[in-house]
Structure 1
Amino acid sequence: MLCFIVNEHSRSGKGAKIWKEAEAVLKKKNIAYESYVTQYEGHAFSLAHDICECGADDIQLVVVGGDGTANEVINGMTHFEKVRFGVIPTGSGNDLARGLGIMGTPTEVIGHILNCREDYVMDLGQVSWNGCEKPRLFAISAGAGLDALVCKKALKSKVKDALNKLHLGKLTYLFLTVQSLFTMQTTDAGAVFDGKGQKNHKKMIFAAAMNFRAEGGGVPMAPGADAQDGKLSVCMAWGIPKWRTFLCLPLLVTANHLRIRGFEVTNCKEYDLKLKTPMVLHADGEYCGDVTEMHFQCLPKKLHVMW
């Protein structure tokens, strides 16, 4: 059973064009499939849930959309052992596709998915927080602070739409990072990794639990992260003056930030984060809330990806 969940509005409408090209391949090859176009925020979640609950034993579920749509689909999925997941990236950042090594034209990507014989079996992350009704799964990253604030702003940013039209959508995150850095409030934090005692951090700027190495349009927060190792790579930054953090951005985007005092990456199966004052929390760029307590954990070998 081959199903597609399509976000035609991703990348300011380019998603529709990309889907049209991929769909032409399916029709040319006379491949049976079902497609569902998202109509509103959260629709991809419910579509994925209904598809996974249809009773079929072998489901191939492909997302035609950006990282946010992929996250909705993954959170809507059930019976992971029966589902093979695929993605045709159409977003601005496309960090999931980048992490998986997915590249090429829509025709090339759909061809690769259709010809896939051996899945890439990857970990997923899960985050819960004080007041949440249900934990949120993530494929790329989840975290609190500066990166989460930037993700929240990007969801409604007019700058993002403008840059997308110029094929410069990745610059959205850099622009919003610079803008947000000098206005955000830092906070004191306590982190516990794998239950081994609390580490205290003054003036925390961000804490990002990474499954893949990069987020925010390709920023390598955790250069050594591996989505198949059963662990999260938690990148934290704290106690750095904002002006100095700004000067460190070139080192961050070139994966040279870990030699700077105040940056640290810790690999762990789970960790807890407590903040003195609330910060924005995100999962794969999707806004979860302004919170003070979070629990992150790795779910090993959870998702079977066709690629």
Structure 2
Amino acid sequence: MRALLVVNPAATTTSARTRDVLIHALASEMKLEVVTTEYRGHARDLGRRAVQSKDIELVVALGGDGTVNEVVNGLLHEGPDPERLPRLAVVPGGSTNVFARALGIPNDAVEATGAILDALSTRSERTVGLGVAAGTPGTEDESVPARWFTFCAGFGFDAGVIGRVEQQRERGKRSTHALYVRQVVRQFLTEPHRRQGLITLERPGHDPVEDLVLSIVCNTSPWTYLGNRPMYASPEASFDKALDVLGLSKLSTPAVARYATQLLTSSPERGPHGKHAVTLHDLTDFTLHSKAPLPFQMDGDHLGLRTSVTFTGVRRALRVIV
């Protein structure tokens, strides 16, 4: 088997020595080409090249969720081919690794490599669905190109938190869960629309859902992890379904305390709920509009401000070695 290993040298939880060990382990079982990413978007370019080569049977991503997202967008640059879905393996190297962990892949890079080799020997793989987001036709965002996401997207409050975290990382701060918690508090204290939301969700054949402050789009469950604690924004979300949405219409201090507690104690059976919470399951097509530009994120990557984003859930998009 010929495989391409895409390595993010800035992966936060793997050292150069660990990466060398993993590379040797993988190379002992396949014809392996190793490329280290050098710029933002490089992993996407490598994924696209792998698909176009026709010779590479497998792409392995060694990095965090951002690296995985870039590789996936390269693999699916021209959309999924039902007759030849691309194959991906993930060695987690980031601080959270939501996509890998949601698939049951060990969070330790060495253990994950062993699990990949075992899965390849038994030809064990899983077909997963993904989400696509693009600018909405007829709006000022219509020229924004479509982009795939593997586990979540967010419009509004949570995307603002991620934007703050990225600003801190650019100043030299390490990406830690404590950093995220601090930015949640700061985003809440400065959020101008937390009592009256600007977001409207529209979907074919249904009345619009209006005045949302926060909208989280989930492709799987858990939504994220706080350390080793899984957090379930949309417990019913699944790689085998389309997309789920959690929307909150109010973020007053009591509401935040209630929903934060519900997230921290959430489970596969129960997520955030209440009169200000909207939960929608297995949506194939819908659009989120805002009365003013709001932060937007996909797979933990802040993508700037948007006023309208259209989402599509694609049930069979990618094969993953598990």
- How far apart are residue 94 of structure 1 and its match? 0.9
Q: How many residues are matched?
A: 297
**Residues of 1 paired with 2:29 and 2:69: CA distance?**
29
- Whether the 8 Å CA contact 2:92–2:107 is kept in 1: the answer is no
**Residues of 1 paired with 2:93 and 2:163: CA distance?**
19
Q: Is 2:156 aligned against 1:149? A: no
Q: Give the stretch that moved more between structures: 260-269 or 236-245.
A: 236-245
**Residues of 2 paired with 1:278 and 1:272: CA distance?**
15
Q: Which residue of 2 aligns with 1:205?
A: 213
Per the alignment, do residues 119 and 21 of structure 1 end up closer, same or farther by CA in structure 2, a change over 3 Å counting? same
- How far apart are residue 26 of structure 1 and its match? 2.8
Q: Which of the residues 239, 244, 262 maps onto 1:233?
A: 244
Point out where structure 1 has 5 or more consecutive residues left out of the alignment: none
Q: Which residue of 2 aligns with 1:33?
A: 32
**Residues of 2 paired with 1:159 and 1:257: CA distance?**
33
- Whether the 8 Å CA contact 1:147–1:216 is kept in 2: the answer is no
**Residues of 2 paired with 1:172 and 1:103: CA distance?**
24
- How far apart are residue 30 of structure 1 and its match? 5.6
User: Given residue 219 of structure 2, which amino acid in structure 1 is its aligned partner?
Assistant: N
User: Given residue 200 of structure 1, which amino acid in structure 2 is its aligned partner?
Assistant: V
- Whether the 8 Å CA contact 2:6–2:36 is kept in 1: the answer is yes
Question: Residues 137-196 of structure 1, C-alpha deviation per residue, up to 9 Å, x if partnerless?
Answer: 0001112011111222222324996555xxxx2333222212211212323222123x02
Per the alignment, do residues 178 and 131 of structure 1 end up closer, same or farther by CA in structure 2, a change over 3 Å counting? same
Q: Which residue of 2 aligns with 1:23?
A: 23
Q: Matched residue of 1:123: which SS?
A: strand
Q: Is 2:67 aligned against 1:52? A: no
Q: Which residue of 2 aligns with 1:223?
A: 235
Point out where structure 2 has 5 or more consecutive residues left out of the alignment: 136-140
Q: Which of the residues 163, 169, 191 maps onto 1:184?
A: 191
**Residues of 2 paired with 1:159 and 1:243: CA distance?**
33
- How far apart are residue 55 of structure 1 and its match? 2.5
Q: Which residue of 2 aligns with 1:287?
A: 302
**Residues of 2 paired with 1:54 and 1:250: CA distance?**
49
Q: Is 2:113 aligned against 1:107? A: no
- Whether the 8 Å CA contact 1:9–1:16 is kept in 2: the answer is no
Q: Matched residue of 2:217: which SS?
A: strand
- Whether the 8 Å CA contact 1:68–1:286 is kept in 2: the answer is yes
**Residues of 2 paired with 1:261 and 1:82: CA distance?**
41
Q: Give the stretch that moved more between structures: 220-229 or 71-80.
A: 71-80
**Residues of 1 paired with 2:47 and 2:7: CA distance?**
11
**Residues of 2 paired with 1:67 and 1:15: CA distance?**
17
Q: Matched residue of 2:262: which SS?
A: helix
Question: Residues 209-245 of structure 1, C-alpha deviation per residue, up to 9 Å, x if partnerless?
Answer: 100123343432111211112x111111112414531
**Residues of 2 paired with 1:133 and 1:158: CA distance?**
25
Q: Matched residue of 2:102: which SS?
A: helix
Question: Residues 25-50 of structure 1, C-alpha deviation per residue, up to 9 Å, x if partnerless?
Answer: 235x3642011100111111111111
Per the alignment, do residues 214 and 16 of structure 1 end up closer, same or farther by CA in structure 2, a change over 3 Å counting? farther
**Residues of 2 paired with 1:185 and 1:219: CA distance?**
26
Q: Percent identity?
A: 23
Q: Give the stretch that moved more between structures: 32-41 or 15-24.
A: 15-24
